[in-house]
Amino acid sequence: MSFRSLGLSPELCQAVIALGFTEPTAIQREAIGPILGGSDVWASAQTGSGKTLAFALPLLQRLQALPAENRHQYGRAIRCLIVVPTRELVAQVGEVVRNLAQAIAPHPKVVVASGGVSINPQMMALRGGADVLIATPGRLLDLAKQNAIQLATVRILVLDEADRLLDLGFADELSRILMLLPPSRQTLLFSATFPPEVRGLVANMLRSPVQLAIEPDSVQENVIVQRAIRVDPSRRTQLLRHLVKEQGWKRVLVFVATKYAAELVAEKLYKAGVYATAFHGDLSQGARNLVLAELKDEQWEVVITTDLASRGIDISKLPVVLNYDLPRSAVDYIHRIGRTGRAGEPGLAISFVGADALAHFALIQKRQGLDVTLETIAGFEPTDTVTPIAPQVGPENGGIKGKRPSKKDKLRDAAARHTAT
């Protein structure tokens, strides 16, 4: 099947081929038609499956079809709004949309806006409005507060990594954004996962949506090799250094639980002769951009990161992802390992598992339908005999890492009860 057979214009088909894509992926085959037809779409598909093109291509074609009188109804009008959870994803989606927009005449005006940098240049860029605005929730609300944008004119709304935006971490900001949007709009929700706790919220946002749940193609199913290594927590850094040197890894993205751990592990590795650095939310935006650019250019062997990098970061041919600390949730596990094995490239995902994390890892496997055998590395055999406490999962406990629900779990449960009433 070709992109042309999906109903896309010759100009957009040529543009996507110029980006290096000759055939549509499964999510693109299923989503483009309904979006072109004006339907709301609720789509889930694995990471690296081409979701950005799945909404960007039909969005730009729909943009051309919108009535001309609506184009600049107000000086600050926004016609299409794409909301994403991180600054890095703003830049990534913005680059794709801008490249595609060059194929359309006249070229749509595409603006990106996120925090971490001065708002003034973004306000200047938005003078006269924009055809497409790609923004993080916080900066979007800042722009609205400054009267730099008019969201009542939005015709198409896209929530990329929608489950993260619907989570309680962004729920308040997203609710305020939705109040500024017109009810008569097309809404598109895309993510790799939609946990049960956000599905009710999703249903309330959409009108007779086309629901798409794309399973991996048979070619893609084994693209990420998953391994789990038993190791004492105190020896994880030594084992990581050993694997980097022994396996000859040139680029590794390592996930830890906290910003402090990212700095600490990176410092230890660097002192031990591994070219490593940290990547987390306390870095300036310039520093974050630099680390990612240098990782893509293979200037760093290891980047130690928090879950900031678990979504939306697209690093071509990243060979290895490693969970130094297991993620809190099974959903985050899927997003983390999805940084490798993208676009059909092979990838390796490794998890370090201490005795105190055995039950947690078992539950992650159960929830994701995995069967990853625990292995040991010679010279790093575990000696820790801590008896793991099996987590209790039920209505009173939304998390899966420990027995007691966290503050976030309690807030999520309260929100769910409020929605139900």
Which domains are seen in the chain, by residue range? Answer: 4-214 (3.40.50.300), 224-375 (3.40.50.300)
Under the banding of pLDDT at 50, 70 and 90, the label for residue 260 is very high
Whether 341 shows a pLDDT value over 90: the answer reads no
* 61 touches 8 (CB < 8 A): yes
Please state the rounded mean pLDDT for residues 73-77: 69
Strand runs (DSSP E) across 219-356, as ranges?
224-230, 252-255, 276-279, 302-305, 320-323, 347-353
Mean pLDDT within 100-107: 89
Name the percent of the chain lying above pLDDT 70.
87
The per-residue pLDDT for 312 is 66
Q: Give the angle 180-111-182 at the CA atoms, nearest 5°.
A: 20
370 near 349, Cβ under 8 Å?
no
pLDDT of amino acid 419: 45
pTM higher than the cut 0.85: no
Would the CA dihedral through 282, 149, 112, 335 be positive or negative? positive
Q: Distance between CA atoms of 243 and 197, rounded to whole angstroms? A: 38
- State mean pLDDT over 98-114: 92
Q: Is the pLDDT of residue 164 over 60?
A: yes
Over residues 179-197, the mean pLDDT reads: 88
Query: Is residue 267's pLDDT more than 50?
Result: yes
User: Which of the two residues, 331 and 139, has the higher pLDDT score?
Assistant: 139
Average pLDDT of the chain, as a whole number: 85
Query: Can you read off the two tokens belonging to residue 80?
Result: 């299409």
pLDDT at 192: 81
Q: Once rounded to an integer, what is the mean pLDDT over residues 311-340?
A: 87
Lowest mean pLDDT among 11-25, 168-182, 334-348, 356-370: 334-348
Tell me what the mean pLDDT of segment 125-134 comes to.
94
